[in-house]
Structure formats: structure tokens, C-alpha cells
Amino acid sequence: MDTSYEVLTLLKEVNHALKKQMFKQFEKYHLSGSEIMAVTMVIHHGNMKISELSDRMNLSMSTVSGIVDRLEKAGVLERNKDSKDRRVVRVGITKEYKAISKTDFVAFEEGIKKAISHISQEEYQQLIQSLKLLSKIITDLNNQEDEGATHAKNC
């Protein structure tokens, strides 16, 4: 079997399984995958600017702004002026949503921990190293393509 095809197939399977688990856990909130990811990022990393959220999600600012708009309208996220610089707007979880959702986010993460707990510490370390390596390979590939496109534009 072609190794690149095998990697892509396995990534697709993992992505599908994670999405399925995520949607099962959060179906009562009627959130999309991107909305769940945004909420997860804000819960884990605290209040942040939309540009920071955009970077963490690897999505454009306009896409993330639309996601935040929908989540704000649903009462999940709120925009607040930064206490140190009033020009800066930060996105945070509303108190109401934080109270009702915390147990579900913890349960989702515990489910992942439980699934991973069946492998040895050595296998876990190998998994983490392999995922980091794959992330680096793909990031490097994207950077090379970006540099090539920039070079082609400048010629």
C-alpha cells in the first residue's frame, strides 16, 4: 500500500472517530465542530483575542469572527474589552455556559484519557512523538508551498 495513502486514510479515520465522539458528547448544545473547537480553545486557554483564537484554530480571522458571532448570539461566548487596553476585545465563555458545560468538556476529555489508558506508557510516548513528527512534516510542507507561492508572485 502507498504510505501517503495509508497515512491519509488513518488520519481520516481518526478525525471521523473524534468528530463522532465529540458530537455525541455535545449534541445537546447544537454546536458545529468548529464551534465546539472554538469553545474548547477558550475554555483551555482562557479569554483571548479573535486573532489568537484564529491562530490556535488554524482558520482565517473572518471565519473565526463568524463562529464567535454565532456563539455570542447563542449565549456561549461573549466579547469583552481588555482591562489594560480598551481597544482590545477579548472573547470569553459566558458564566452561564461555563457552569452548564464544564462537566461535558471534562467528560469528553476523560473519555479520551480512558481510551488512551489501554496503551502502555511507551506506546503513549511513541504516539505523541509520531503525532508531533507528522504535524512538523505537514507544517513544513505547508511552509514550503507558501514560500513557493510567494516566490512565484514576486517573479
* Inter-CA distances, 36 with 29, 73, 84, 129, 146, Å: 9, 15, 29, 26, 29
The CA distance from 89 to 65, in Å, is: 12
Q: What are phi and psi of 31, to 5 degrees?
A: -105, 145
Query: Residues 138, 98: one domain?
Result: no
Task: Kindly report whether the global pTM for this prediction surpasses the value 0.75.
Answer: no
Of 32 and 148, more confident: 32
Query: Residues 114, 133: one domain?
Result: no
Number of domains in the chain: 2
CATH of the domain at 10: 1.10.10.10
Q: Which domain holds residue 45?
A: 3-118
* Nearest one of 67, 77, 72 to 47, comparing CA atoms: 77
pLDDT per position as a tens digit, 15-25: 888 888 877 87
What pLDDT shows up at residue 99? 79
Residue with cell 502507498: 2
Query: Residues 78, 99: one domain?
Result: yes
Q: How large is the average pLDDT for residues 28-49?
A: 89
Query: Residues 24, 73: one domain?
Result: yes
Query: Residues 88, 22: one domain?
Result: yes
Helix runs in the chain, H state only: 3-26, 33-45, 50-57, 61-73, 95-116, 121-154
pLDDT per position as a tens digit, 84-116: 888 889 999 999 888 777 777 778 888 888 888
